[in-house]
Copies of this chain bind each other. A is one copy, B any other.
Amino acid sequence: MATTPQPTERRADALSKARIVEAAIALLDAGGESALTFRALAGRLATGSGAIYHHVADKNDLLAAASDSIIARIVGEAGATPREAIRAIAAGVFDAIDDHPWVGAQLHREPWRPAMLQIFEGVGSQLQALGVPEPAQFDAAAVLVNYILGVAVQNAANARMQPPDADRTALLAAVAARWTQHDPAEYPFVHKVAAQLPEHDDREQFLAGIDLILVGISGLGR
């Protein structure tokens, strides 16, 4: 009775949005999007499924918050030049999807979410530093962000088709094998590229695409 507990004190294991998001990320990383259920989450947090709704609005809110949390870790990657800074942002998103494929499917929904805003702001501010004229900056940023997120979605879809431990070459070889099953007369270009698919480095190809777009952007202001 000498010591009364401080009323603002909370149990160390009290629920919070941060703890819920952390547990959700663990489930998503371990088993993909289908592994995140409110029952599994409640089990991992040792609570009832209804308790989660006191901290997140619904499953969509939970997925978006988890995605924001992953992307927030990769911002602020500086570079010596604007071009290098844009490359660093792009590579950061690419690698984040590599580690957390389920994020790729979340980046587009609700474009006012921190994940989208941070990527757009990061790219756009570097375009200003690059000297892209004001009227062209919006178009230029839109091209880069749409390309970066498009590749993110593709990588997320690829990861969903394979067991989590499958390597990149095996996945690409499987896609190439499917491509060559079609009629070569109908898809000659697809057949030609299928041979290059398994051994190509898709991270390198992605960054080569960033460079190519930056070349096109540098021609905007002439």
Contacts and interface: CB of A to CB of B under 8 A. Distances in A.
Interface of A: 108-112, 117, 120-121, 124-125, 128, 137-143, 146-151, 153-154, 156-158, 160-161, 175, 178-179, 181-182, 186-190, 192-193, 196, 200, 205, 208-209, 212-217, 219-220
A146 to B, nearest CB: 4
A106 to B, nearest CB: 10
18 contacts: A108-B154, A111-B157, A112-B175, A117-B187, A117-B190, A124-B193, A125-B188, A125-B189, A137-B192, A138-B193, A141-B193, A142-B205, A143-B147, A143-B213, A212-B216, A215-B216, A215-B219, A216-B219
A157 B149 CA distance: 12
Contacts of A181: 112
A60 to B, nearest CB: 11
B154 A117 contact: no
A75 B110 CA distance: 31
A146 B143 contact: no
A110 B181 CA distance: 14
Contacts of A148: 150
B209 A212 contact: no
A178 B110 CA distance: 10
Contacts of A196: 138
Contacts of A182: 112, 117
B124 A190 contact: yes
Q: Which 9 A-B pairs have the closest CB atoms?
A: A150-B150, A112-B178, A124-B189, A216-B216, A212-B216, A143-B209, A108-B157, A215-B216, A146-B150
A57 to B, nearest CB: 15
Contacts of A193: 120, 124, 137-138, 141
A108 B139 CA distance: 24
A86 B120 CA distance: 26
A160 B60 CA distance: 13
A79 to B, nearest CB: 17
A145 B62 CA distance: 31
